[in-house]
Structure formats: structure tokens, C-alpha cells
Structure 1
Amino acid sequence: MQYTSTRGGVVGVDFEGVLFAGFAADGGLFMPEHIPKLNNVTLTTWRSLSYKDLVKEVCALFIPPEAIPRSDLNGLIDKALGRFRHKDVVPVSRLKSDLSVLEMWHGATHAFKDLAMSCVGQFLDYFLKKNNRHVNILVGTSGDTGSAAIESVRGIPNIDITVLLPHGRCTEIQERQMTTVIEDNVHVYAVDGTSDELDEPIKKLFGDTEFVKRHNLMSTNSVNWARVMVQIAHFFYGYFQCAPSQDNELLPPVEIVVPTGGAGNITAGCIAQKMGLPIQLVAVVNSNDIIHRTVQKGDFSLGNTERTLASAMDIQVTMTRNLTSIFLLH
């Protein structure tokens, strides 16, 4: 499996290169050169798998064994997801016969991003130990990304992480999760402005390829393909838990509602669709509704980022980048 930039200027990059890049050198995001299509036999086989095992199967489609041997990959994922408080990792609560909630808050920071970020941390540690390298992770956050990113790499000697958070715009618990971690490799700074405003200089920084190379700089924001890849498993697991069993080969459609901030998670859902999963996706947004305006009205313009009760969803800039990936899928 090779990867290419959504802008077409970078092609033929392997998984390790994509993992450590975040952004492509041309400013685009990395996507697989092809999306594997699963047949109904595979989907039926996957129905009985646990969440952990589904993550392993999904990741194995996008990480060739020459990059990470399958036995090593399984071990990394087991270690990453072994810290979750529930034995099923993401249990399903059934509210009524046709409405269920996938509980994605049983990780260290109670954010769904713990799921993918914990795996990304293990992938990074694997390659860094193998190659005796050190990296500097730079993360901009609206709240939940920063704390999940910190938890995924705290104490790892070959990684330093710097998190920028918008002063006064995160929830108190998220800010404390980030600012009370006492680890030598964790560095957290509050900055003025919104998460979108702090994201712009970060993007410019990653556009300076010499600076990035000199300081071994990378990102684990939703622009990083490895996070999107792991999140694909959310949709398969949710589908299998909610779709009624069928004796024939016709798989019934299931509607999945996705709270949407930077649109990385719903990008994973679109990829799951392309892989053959019969799901219908609904993106739920707050008043920072660029994805709604784009789809319904063709309005791709950035407005003022408003403060809402769902502060982690007060995002527009990152969403526009992940929308590019979604457009390419369709």
C-alpha cells in the first residue's frame, strides 16, 4: 500500500513516511492510492470480531507486513487498547430498538480520540525504537485532541510533544488534563485566539520542509492518516453491533450519526463506505457549520469561529482540509 497527497504533488509514500509526515510536502493530506473493496464474505466474517480484532484487520489492509509484521502489529494494537476501562473497549448502549450509542469515552481522557491516538503512539514508538530516532510532535487543539495526544506518548523517551491550546476556549477538565501532566517530554502552551487561528501558523510551519526536516517535526492532528485509518474500525464495529443478522448475503443499511469537528472521523466513515460497508452518514455540527454549508449550499467560506458548549467542535480550518479527502472519495 502506497499513499499520495490530496493535492497530487507527492506520490508513492509508504506507511512509515506517512505516519511521520502528517501533512504532505505540497500542503495536502495523505490518502491511500487505492481503497480496498471488501466482499460480503469478508464482511460476514468480520461481524463476529471484537473491536480490537477489527482494528487489527483494518490496519493490516493499509500497513503491509514489510512495514510492520502482522504479529508485531497485533501486539501494538493490543497494548494500545489494553488501557481502556471497559473490556469491550467501545461497548454499545441500546436506547431503544432502532437507536444505539457507541460508547467511545472509556479511554484515559474520556475522549473518542483516545482510541486512534493510543494506536498512533504505539506505531510511532515502534519505528522510533527500530530506527533509533527522535521526533518532535506539534499539535494544535480545540480541547480533546491535545489531551489524547499527550496521553498517547507521555513518557516515551524518543518523542517530545508540544501542544498549543486556545487560552480560555477549552473546557476546564480538558485544560487540566493537558496542563497537569508532569513528564519531561510534554510541553503545553496557551495561546491567544481560536483553535483555527492557532492552526494557521502551524500549517505554515509544516510548509517549511527544511525546518520540518531539521527538527524532525510531525503532527498527530486529524491530518495524520494513521488516525483516520484506525477510526475506520469504529464504523465497522458500530455497524456490526447494530445491523440485524441476515441469513442471506444482503447486508442492511445502518445510519450512523457522527458529531463532527475537524471531520477526520467522518472521513474514516466515508472510507468505510468505499470499502463496501452499507452505512449512511449524518454529520452533526454546531454553529461552526462549514461542512453543512458546503454540502447543502456549496458555501466553502470561513466564517467567524463561534464559542459553543461543544468547544472541541469549534473548528473550521481543519475541517476544510479533511473535506478535501472526502471530496476525492466521491
Structure 2
Amino acid sequence: MDIIVLLPKGHCTKIQELQMTTVLRENVHVFGVEGNSDELDEPIKAVFADVAFVKKHNLMSLNSINWSRVLVQMAHHFFAYFQCAPSLDMDPLPRVEVVVPTGAAGNLAAGCIAQKMGLPIRLVVAVNRNDIIHRTVQQGDFSLSEAVEQTLASAMDIQVPYNMERIFWLLSGSNSQVTRALMEQFERTQSVSLPKELHSKLSGAVTSESVSDEAITQTMARCWEENKYLLCPHSAVAVSYHYQQTEQQPPSLPRCCLAPASAAKFPEAVLAAGLTPETPAEILALESKGTRCTPMRKGDDWTLMLRDTIEDISCQQRGHFLNALE
């Protein structure tokens, strides 16, 4: 198996970048894209749209474009529910509120499917200043802002949450025509106002919050002070919602905040919160390792580069296979 990695140069932390670029094995091919997460998704989506090419080269993706990623995340919601439900002997089963920090909405899609399966959870989606999902839930406004904002929660710096397509389909009663029309309009105009019925179903299934960098650092500091637990900035987006709500009134339901990452990868955010990063020795060792990364520069044809790399890998694999036969 060969692995192709696209990382957004300048849009992830130094540690995140080193975790990818210090893997020097021959079957790992790392590209540093001069663009943000939305921009590097474009060549990936273009390649996977070519079904014949995908089948020819046995391709799969490991981001949440891949349905199996969402399936795994569904299990997280069930696990969280069984951890947090006060009793499973009640009829009906008690509800639990799950706060989902997200960028591309994969974990939110997983929660919506779990809900549809009968899991009694109340979903809250928490985003950073890139608030397209928040605006969609609150106002039915599924439209791009002028630009992606860089925040401390960098993995959520996304303007095109492609899993919202799955959520629209799910909440429209599996209506593929309605969903296709919405997404084609979004592709053309970068702006969609949800039909009233669909927006009503979305806002009934999910509530939302948008969190600033200042709130992220305040939440990280408070959580450390009160619990000696070091949140990553993405987890802090969810916990910030919890703190906001508890200041207004005690929670009416048990509440679970999903935590997507370790703070060890985000020392810049930890320092911004006035805390001391706890960096494991394995992470510190990355700085002394060699790196390998092929640039994908502005002006290059990223889709062509990706396709050519895949073709080259397949040719090499066929050569190895024929040599083995001989």
C-alpha cells in the first residue's frame, strides 16, 4: 500500500507538519500544498470523481470524504452515550447532549445518523470563526464567507464542509434530487438558502455555536485551572460552549464534549492560553529528523500532479509484481 499525503503549508502547526514530513519510507509521498484545507481538497475530489481512475488504481481516501470514516465516528457517539447516560433502565431512554467540534462536518454527520438510528442524543455543533455550519443551522444560510480565517483551531479552518451534503440528504428524507440541486447551486454560486422545511429539520436536529480564538484560550486556561486537563484548541471549542451554557443555567441533560486531538500538537495555542506545553519525548525527537516533502505551488496543476503520482506508483507496483513472478 502506498500513501499520498497533502498538507496545507503554513496552515497547520510545526509539529503537525513534522509528523507528516519526517516519514521517509518509500511508500509514503508527502506534498506541501500552498493553500488552505479547502483548496487542497479540490484535487482530491477531482481525482475521486473519476470513477474509472479510482477503480484502475484501487484508490481510497482517509478523510471524511470516505464513508468508512463517518461509520467509525458513529461508534464514538454510541460509546459517548453509554458513558454519559445516567441509566439504561429508563423508558424512554434518557437523552444526552453531545457537543461536536467540527470543520468538514464528518463527526456531525455521524451524530445525525446515530440520531436517525434511534440514539437519544441532542447534538450541538461547535465551530471556530469559520462559521458556515453555524450560519446554516441558525439561518439556513449555506454560503461562503470572503475568505478562510486562520484560527488557533487550525484543523477546523474550513469553508466548504462537504459532509453537510450527507446531512441535507439524510434530513430531506433521502431525497437525492433536492440534495443534488442544492449542492450544484452551491458549486455555481457559493451561496444557498436552505428550503424552509429542510432548515426546520436541521435546526430541530442540531443547535450550534461559533467560538472566537479568545474564547478558545480562555477555555483552555479555565479547564487547566479547574481540572488540570490540557485541552487542544479544537476540544476547547466544544468545552467553550459548555462553559457558556453553565454560566446561564445548570445543564438539563448530561453533556459530553468530543475531543478530537491532543494538545501536544498545538504548543502555540497552549502558550497563547498562558499555559506550559507538555511535549512528549517522541514529539520533541521529530525536530532532529530528516524531512521530505514535494511542493504543490500556486499555479501548478495540483490535480495533474496527483494523477501523475498515482500513475507512477501503479507502474512501480506492477514492475515489482512482475519481478516477483519471474
User: Structure 2 matches for 1:123-202, cutoff 5 A?
Assistant: 159-202=1-44
The answer on 1:302 being equivalent to 2:144 is yes
Aligned residue in 1 for 2:163:
322
Measure the CA separation in 1 of the matches of 2:30 and 2:128: 27
How far 1:322 moved relative to its partner? 0.7
How far 1:221 moved relative to its partner? 1.2
Aligned residue in 2 for 1:206:
48
User: Structure 2 matches for 1:1-330, cutoff 5 A?
Assistant: 159-303=1-145, 304-317=147-160, 319=161, 321-330=162-171
Alignment gaps of 5+ in structure 2:
172-326
Measure the CA separation in 1 of the matches of 2:67 and 2:27: 23
What SS does the aligned partner of 2:3 have? Answer: strand
Aligned residue in 1 for 2:307:
none
Measure the CA separation in 2 of the matches of 1:191 and 1:248: 52
Measure the CA separation in 2 of the matches of 1:213 and 1:238: 36
The answer to which of 241-250 and 180-189 deviates more is 241-250
C-alpha change, 1:247 and 1:213, in structure 2 (3 Å) is closer
Measure the CA separation in 2 of the matches of 1:170 and 1:252: 39
C-alpha change, 1:183 and 1:251, in structure 2 (3 Å) is same
Measure the CA separation in 2 of the matches of 1:271 and 1:212: 27
Measure the CA separation in 1 of the matches of 2:56 and 2:88: 55
Measure the CA separation in 2 of the matches of 1:166 and 1:221: 14
Query: What does the per-residue CA deviation read over 1:199-241, in whole Å, with 9 as the maximum and x for residues that have no partner?
Result: 1122122222333333333212101111111111111111111
Question: How many correspondences in the alignment?
Answer: 170
**What is the letter of the counterpart of residue 128 of structure 2?**
N
Identity, in percent, stands at 69
Task: Work out which structure has the larger RCO, using CA pairs closer than 8 Å and 6 or more positions apart in sequence.
Answer: 2
How far 1:257 moved relative to its partner? 0.4
Measure the CA separation in 2 of the matches of 1:198 and 1:273: 31
Aligned residue in 2 for 1:16:
none
Measure the CA separation in 1 of the matches of 2:166 and 2:49: 19
Query: What does the per-residue CA deviation read over 1:25-45, in whole Å, with 9 as the maximum and x for residues that have no partner?
Result: xxxxxxxxxxxxxxxxxxxxx
Query: What does the per-residue CA deviation read over 1:115-157, in whole Å, with 9 as the maximum and x for residues that have no partner?
Result: xxxxxxxxxxxxxxxxxxxxxxxxxxxxxxxxxxxxxxxxxxx
**TM-score, structure 1 length as denominator?**
0.49
Query: What does the per-residue CA deviation read over 1:265-319, in whole Å, with 9 as the maximum and x for residues that have no partner?
Result: 11111111111111000000001111111111121112211110010001122x1
What SS does the aligned partner of 1:245 have? Answer: coil
C-alpha change, 1:199 and 1:243, in structure 2 (3 Å) is same
Alignment gaps of 5+ in structure 1:
1-158
Query: What does the per-residue CA deviation read over 1:79-128, in whole Å, with 9 as the maximum and x for residues that have no partner?
Result: xxxxxxxxxxxxxxxxxxxxxxxxxxxxxxxxxxxxxxxxxxxxxxxxxx
**TM-score, structure 2 length as denominator?**
0.50
Which one has a larger percent helix, Structure 1 or Structure 2?
Answer: 2
How far 1:246 moved relative to its partner? 4.7
Measure the CA separation in 1 of the matches of 2:50 and 2:121: 39
- Of the two, which has the highest radius of gyration? 2
How far 1:328 moved relative to its partner? 1.9
C-alpha change, 1:299 and 1:247, in structure 2 (3 Å) is closer
Measure the CA separation in 1 of the matches of 2:168 and 2:68: 19
Measure the CA separation in 1 of the matches of 2:79 and 2:112: 15
Query: What does the per-residue CA deviation read over 1:59-91, in whole Å, with 9 as the maximum and x for residues that have no partner?
Result: xxxxxxxxxxxxxxxxxxxxxxxxxxxxxxxxx
Measure the CA separation in 1 of the matches of 2:11 and 2:89: 50
Measure the CA separation in 2 of the matches of 1:161 and 1:242: 37
C-alpha change, 1:240 and 1:199, in structure 2 (3 Å) is same
